[in-house]
Copies of this chain bind each other. A is one copy, B any other.
Amino acid sequence: MYFIKKQFIYLRKNLFGSTFTPLNLDMKNTKPTIHDISKVLNIDSSTVSRALNNSPRVSKKTKDLILKKAEELGYQKNTLASNLRTSKTNTIGVIVPRISRNFFSSVISGIEETGYKGGYNVVIGQTFDNLEREQKLVSTFLSNRVDGLLISISMETTDYEHLENYKKNGGPIVFYDRPVSLKDCPSITINDFEASYKATKHLILKGCKNIVHFSGVQKINLYKNRKEGYFSALKEYNIPIREEYVFEAKLSEEDGIEFAKRILKMKHIDGIYSANDTAAISAIQYLKSNGIKIPKDISVVGFNNDPISAVIEPSLTTINQPDFEMGTIACSLLINLIENKNIQVQNLSKILTSELIVRNS
């Protein structure tokens, strides 16, 4: 029996073209498996597996033998098989609105850094702020058995069934930047309220009386909090709160231009606090091209500290967020949840602090 097996291997390795080759199929799949190693060395595949995983149940002598042969044959573990058996993929799914936004790509870098250190692969998907895409991504991640999910929800997301489904059948979820209050799902966010308060106060102290606020979709807590912070500063300085001073949109470049047009019509606006830099910057450009002097006529504060904000003239006063750090913290928290199933999820959420960067706008 042993001899036959050994001979079989021999044929397989050396007589490809020969008529003696058992099956042509063998030519396709030349990748060696633990069974190949097992047959060549006449050692059971279970021992081979244990040796490759450095189990204490295998003697050093056979371990060396197996490792050497594995190297020699160019063996590489078939992760698919391993994952199937252990029902663990060592993969983290990341869902992000769009990677082209500097803030998000920095968060991703933080996530990857921590993920790789912890032995996890990181898989990234973009939603482009589209709900359908988000659902599809979550579903893909679920059927690919990603061990856990890091997500910043899309602007269109109001229904959380896909997330609840993942939580139930997939694994833990950690929200970052744009949280959702879902049972047992912690979130890593920044102190939007305080940051907004500081930003608005900065404008007030510079003498602005009529400050508009560029805001995003209110279903996203982050934008609500930023609006509240803006209100709170106005209140403190006895400036009347006027709902018509709050502009809502997706805060794209086009939205910024749209808002700038509105401001020109309103005539008496002297301050802008925008919930992101993208809209602030396009608004500044439009206003400048229409003869408005920044900051003489209108002062502007943005949010995110995009690289462009330092380059535009005048350079943009904005809020800097600990983006990379947000990624590392969210990721290590998620890994913690994946590996310690019985952890208490209460009080795991974290609010990071951001800072106002005063520039020339």
- A residues with a Cβ closer than 8 A to B are 29-31, 74, 76-81, 83-84, 87, 89, 98-100, 102, 105-106, 108-109, 112, 116, 121-126, 136, 139-140, 142-145, 169, 281, 285, 307-308, 311-313
Q: Are B311 and A79 in contact (CB under 8 A)?
A: no
Q: Are A143 and B108 in contact (CB under 8 A)?
A: no
A240 to B303, CA, bound (A): 48
| Integer count of this chain's copies in the complex | 2
Q: Are A99 and B108 in contact (CB under 8 A)?
A: yes
A sample of 26 inter-chain contacts (CB < 8 A) reads A29-B87, A30-B169, A76-B142, A76-B169, A78-B145, A79-B144, A80-B80, A80-B87, A80-B89, A80-B145, A81-B84, A84-B84, A98-B105, A99-B105, A99-B108, A100-B105, A100-B106, A100-B109, A105-B105, A109-B126, A121-B140, A122-B125, A123-B124, A281-B311, A311-B312, A312-B312
Contact flag A169-B31 (CB < 8 Å), given A100-B105, A124-B124: yes
A298 to B9, CA, bound (A): 70
Question: Which of B80, B99, B105, B311 is the one whose CB lies under 8 Å from A83?
Answer: B80
Q: How far is the CB of A315 from chain B (nearest CB, A)?
A: 10
Contact flag A76-B143 (CB < 8 Å), given A106-B100, A108-B99: yes
Q: Which residue of B lies closest to A145 (CB)?
A: B80
A307 to B30, CA, bound (A): 47
Q: Which residues of B contact A78 (CB under 8 A)?
A: 84, 143, 145
Question: Which of B29, B112, B307 is the one whose CB lies under 8 Å from A308?
Answer: B307
A74 to B87, CA, bound (A): 19
Closest 9 CB pairs of A and B: A100-B105, A80-B84, A79-B143, A313-B313, A124-B124, A79-B144, A99-B105, A99-B99, A80-B83
Contact flag A126-B112 (CB < 8 Å), given A99-B99, A99-B105, A285-B311: yes
Q: Which residue of B lies closest to A139 (CB)?
A: B76
Q: Which residues of B contact A83 (CB under 8 A)?
A: 80
A98 to B105, CA, bound (A): 9
A112 to B126, CA, bound (A): 9
Q: Are A144 and B169 in contact (CB under 8 A)?
A: no
Q: Which residues of B contact A281 (CB under 8 A)?
A: 311
Q: How far is the CB of A58 from chain B (nearest CB, A)?
A: 22
A140 to B76, CA, bound (A): 10
A144 to B281, CA, bound (A): 42
Q: Which residue of B lies closest to A142 (CB)?
A: B76
A-B contact sample (5 more), CB < 8 A, given A78-B145, A84-B84:
A78-B84, A79-B144, A80-B89, A105-B105, A311-B312
A139 to B307, CA, bound (A): 33
A274 to B300, CA, bound (A): 32
A193 to B252, CA, bound (A): 35
Q: How far is the CB of A232 from chain B (nearest CB, A)?
A: 32
Q: Which residues of B contact A307 (CB under 8 A)?
A: 308
Residue among A83, A100, A142 with most chain B CB within 10 A? A100
Question: Which of B79, B142, B313 is the one whose CB lies under 8 Å from A145?
Answer: B79
Q: Are A144 and B80 in contact (CB under 8 A)?
A: yes
